[in-house]
Amino acid sequence: MARIVEIDYRKCVHCQDCIGVCPVGVYKFVGKRVRVVDPKSCLGPSCQMCADACWKMAITVESGSPDPALATGAGAEGH
């Protein structure tokens, strides 16, 4: 299932703590920034270890699928 992992860059100070705690390598330090590089591997909201570790409270982890309105394409608009 798709996951949404977001870093709020207004808050993030690129300390890399989240990289250290994530067991599946969702985060990576690239070009002086901590980035979400592999959200597909995220274990989802039941994990939240990164969000707990982030002392700037910059991380949001959500299940990616439940909002069909955001699903792309299929031409099902207007319902």
| Residues in touch with ligand SF4 (CB under 6 A) | 5, 7, 12-18, 21-22, 24, 26, 34, 42-43, 47-50, 53-54, 56, 58-59, 61
Smallest gap from residue 12 Cβ to ligand SF4 (A): 3
For ligand SF4, give the closer residue by CB, 24 or 75: 24
For ligand SF4, give the closer residue by CB, 23 or 71: 23
Q: What is the DSSP secondary-structure string of 34-66? A: EEE--GGG---TTT-HHHHH-TT--EEEEESSS
Q: How many C-beta atoms lie closer than 10 Å to residue 7's C-beta?
A: 20
For ligand SF4, give the closer residue by CB, 13 or 71: 13
Rounded Cα distance between 72 and 54, Å, is 31
Scan for tokens 């700037």, then name that residue: 56
